[in-house]
């Protein structure tokens, strides 16, 4: 499911920045924004609607999963599930139009793309799961694919936060997939089973949440310290738009002084770009570390503490 959502996120954001179709004009449309996250989302382009796309894929996959593993042949159960899915997707789609974030065309684009991705994923999911659970070349494959996706992302007509969201989500998926072979800790009681007592559940919360926050902070700090050193070692010119303000000022001051590229830059075809935003790498490693703490470190601590 994590891979499915990453695929939806990347495909949807890519199409947004390639098409560069603006959201409904405000005014005359009144856009309702209540949080800072919604303000950032409003800076993205509109077509296709990411909320509609992700809702179709997530709810459709969950329905398929429940119906497949419940092994229920009751036609009324299936109809009820499909009806709930339609109501849920319709509510999200109408809500985006009501908030002034999307037009009907944006919604239809997200709906069609979501159904196409869902159909493809349901047909290929068993092969993907078999590859990941085999553990053969999974680490090298996903690391290479992540770098390719980061560098192959299209440049929009105007800057948007879509690439930042994609970099964070790709980092999460990378962290999950790299530790998939250690994901199953058989000694840890699962949720909603009799072995997991209330005290154990509370203990998990008290241990797990601080652990995740600490790892997120430490992975970000480590990335901010190591990535500039590695980049300078290989002669890769870098800048920072938010995480390292001094680095951004330095890049601006030196932008007119760079006349030649190092051999390493030419080898990696970096010569067409003066500076690379190191915030992308920091964000990627930060969220990869966060995902690792959720799927591997946390359960390991639960096993050690017998929670």
CA gap 244, 301 in Å, rounded: 33
Q: Which long-range contacts (CB under 8 A, 24 or more apart) does 125-131 make?
A: 125/4, 128/3
Answer yes or no: 166 catalytic.
no
Transcribe 17-83 into DSSP letters.
HHH-PPPPPTTTSPP---SHHHHHHHTS--SS-HHHHHHHHHHHHHHHHHHHHHT---HHHHHHHHH
Q: Single out the residue of 177, 185, 182 nearest to residue 302, CA to CA.
A: 185
Catalytic residue among 64, 102, 127, 184: 102
Catalytic residue among 51, 64, 166, 185: 51
Q: Single out the residue of 4, 303, 19, 297 nearest to residue 156, CA to CA.
A: 19
Q: What tokens does 274 get?
A: 């003066």
- Residue 288, classified by CB atoms within 10 Å of its CB into exposed (0-12), middle (13-18) or buried (19+), is buried
Q: Which residues are catalytic?
A: 51, 102
């Amino acid at each position: 499911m994590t891979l499915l959502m990453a695929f939806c996120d990347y495909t949807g954001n890519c199409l947004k920045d390639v098409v560069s179709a603006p959201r409904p004009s405000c005014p005359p449309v009144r856009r309702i924004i209540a949080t800072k996250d919604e303000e950032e989302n409003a800076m993205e382009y509109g077509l296709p609607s990411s909320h509609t796309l992700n809702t179709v894929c997530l709810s459709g996959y969950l329905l398929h999963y429940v119906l497949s593993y419940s092994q229920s042949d009751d036609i009324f159960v299936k109809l009820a599930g499909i009806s709930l899915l339609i109501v849920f997707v319709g509510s999200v789609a109408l809500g985006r139009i009501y908030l002034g974030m999307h037009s009907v065309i944006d919604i239809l684009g997200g709906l069609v793309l979501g159904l196409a991705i869902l159909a493809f994923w349901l047909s290929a999911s068993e092969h993907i799961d078999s590859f990941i659970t085999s553990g053969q070349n999974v680490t090298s494959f996903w690391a290479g694919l992540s770098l390719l996706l980061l560098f192959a992302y299209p440049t929009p007509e105007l800057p948007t936060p879509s690439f930042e969201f994609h970099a964070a989500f790709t980092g999460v998926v990378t962290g999950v997939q790299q530790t998939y072979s250690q994901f199953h800790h058989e000694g840890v009681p699962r949720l909603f089973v009799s072995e997991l007592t209330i005290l154990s559940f509370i203990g998990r919360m008290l241990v797990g949440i601080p652990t995740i926050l600490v790892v997120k902070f430490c992975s970000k700090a480590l990335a901010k310290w190591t990535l500039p050193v590695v980049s300078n070692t290989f002669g890769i010119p870098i800048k920072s738009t938010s995480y390292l303000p001094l680095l951004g000022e330095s890049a601006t001051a030196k932008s007119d002084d760079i006349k030649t590229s190092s051999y390493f830059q030419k080898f990696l075809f970096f010569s067409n770009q003066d500076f690379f935003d190191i915030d992308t790498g920091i964000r990627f490693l930060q969220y990869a570390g966060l995902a690792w703490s959720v799927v591997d470190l946390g359960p390991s601590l639960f096993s050690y503490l017998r929670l």
